[in-house]
Amino acid sequence: MTESTGFKQLLINQGYDPVDGFGEGRKIAVLAALAALLLATACIAAVMGAYDISITDTYRTILVHLTLGDVTSLPKLHNTIIWDIRVPRIILAVSVGGALAIAGAVFQGVFRNPLVEPYILGVSSGAAFGAALGIVFPAIFFSIQLSAFIFGALAVTLAYILARVRGETPIITLILAGVIIGSIFSALVSLLKYTANDTALREIVFWLMGGFYYATWNDVLLLAPAVLVSFVVLWGLGWKLNVLSMGDDEARTLGVNPERYKFVVIALATAITAFAVSLVGIIAWVGLMMPHASRMLLGPDNRFVIPASLMMGGCYLIVCDTLARTLTTAEIPVGILTSILGAPYLCYLLRHKGRVIFG
């Protein structure tokens, strides 16, 4: 009992106060349910795979690792498949899905437009160009990932600089600048595709479709902490983001410096998007859809939308990736699946919830 009141007090101290007309008790319950769903999805995904391993064997392998038990006692094959292939892949899927969904949620808030996705400022085109460079000129750009990340971040920086007028970055110029920069980099990618030899072309096309084929613990250790830190910071800015989505002038008179917070939020969201894209390629729709789904469940308050997006984005990518690796004997690029599953969902939103979601 003391534990539950302690927990309640903790929630209240963090600004979530369940006892009033704001319906926050329900929202906290929904968040808890989403967390449970995420965990359950991850557990189920760990059991699924081309190589049949029983449920008990799967969880014993994971448990031994989690409790720092004697790893050598496990069958070597099980250990490799479960701990070195499936688990990092699942965690990477959660990190990427979470990163894209959070970035989408905060971009939509900052740009005051529910149809914005995290790639709006050209990060995907930039990263694609970086990756293509790495593939075509492996001698100069030794790491595809690094090159993708650098060019992804560069594209957004260029868009931001291009949009800056007299110390301010109006939303509309920012979006236009993103479109311009994006199309330049897309053209450059086409140029590289055109000049590349067959092997390189194949690799570029494959990279563009996105996938978790090569997920390793190294990727996880790079991405997961970055996503976690960005998530905590952006979550903490949740209320300010609400105010920011009312417009720059109003945010200013409500004590939220629009330029400062826009910069922080865009920088963080861009960093994790570029990071995620550089590791797994371009995965569409997650960043657009998951924030919508969160808003349908919880309303537009970003203090709830951001954590819900993280968990739903994670869930969605686990499901898509598990399907990608189990549906056929060969792997389907996960970007294809997220689009095929995502587009009908957005159609549904548009047809049935249009008034509520799109105002």
- Residue 14 engages other proteins in binding (rule: CB under 8 A): yes
Which residues have CB under 8 Å from 28's CB, separation 6+?
Answer: 11, 16, 18
- Residue 238 engages other proteins in binding (rule: CB under 8 A): yes
Considering beta carbons, is residue 113 or 157 the nearer one to other proteins?
113
Residue 168, classed as helix, strand or coil, is strand
Which of 241, 212, 340, 226 has its CA nearest to residue 273? 226
Window of 82-90, 273-281, 292-300, 318-326 that interacts with other proteins by CB under 8 A = 292-300
Binding mask 128-157 for other proteins (x = CB under 8 A): ------------------------------
Question: Which listed residue (85, 180, 209, 236) binds other proteins by CB under 8 A?
Answer: 236
Considering beta carbons, is residue 13 or 197 the nearer one to other proteins?
13
- Token look-up 């952006």 returns 234
- Residue 13 engages other proteins in binding (rule: CB under 8 A): yes
Considering beta carbons, is residue 212 or 304 the nearer one to other proteins?
304
Q: Measure the CA angle with vertex 212, ends 209 and 217; round to 5°.
A: 150
Which residues have CB under 8 Å from 229's CB, separation 6+?
Answer: none
Distance CA 320, CA 339 (A): 10
Which of 315, 234, 320, 294 has its CA nearest to residue 36? 315
Question: Which listed residue (2, 56, 253, 329) binds other proteins by CB under 8 A?
Answer: 253
Considering beta carbons, is residue 4 or 253 the nearer one to other proteins?
253
Window of 140-148, 194-202, 212-220, 254-262 that interacts with other proteins by CB under 8 A = 254-262
Question: Which listed residue (34, 181, 256, 312) binds other proteins by CB under 8 A?
Answer: 256
Residue type, 7: F
- Minimum CB–partner distance for residue 302 and other proteins (Å): 9
- Residue 164 engages other proteins in binding (rule: CB under 8 A): no
CB 153 within 8 A of CB 94: no
Burial (Cβ within 10 Å: 0-12, 13-18, ≥19) of residue 278: buried
Considering beta carbons, is residue 105 or 274 the nearer one to other proteins?
105
Question: Which listed residue (295, 309, 319, 332) binds other proteins by CB under 8 A?
Answer: 295
Distance CA 38, CA 50 (A): 22
What dihedral do alpha carbons 268, 273, 279, 283 form, nearest 10°? 170
CB 143 within 8 A of CB 122: no
Distance CA 288, CA 268 (A): 17
Considering beta carbons, is residue 348 or 358 the nearer one to other proteins?
358
Binding mask 297-336 for other proteins (x = CB under 8 A): --xxx-x---------------------------------
Residues in contact with other proteins by CB under 8 A are 12-17, 19-22, 109, 112-114, 236, 238-240, 242-243, 245-247, 249-250, 252-257, 295, 299-301, 303, 355-359
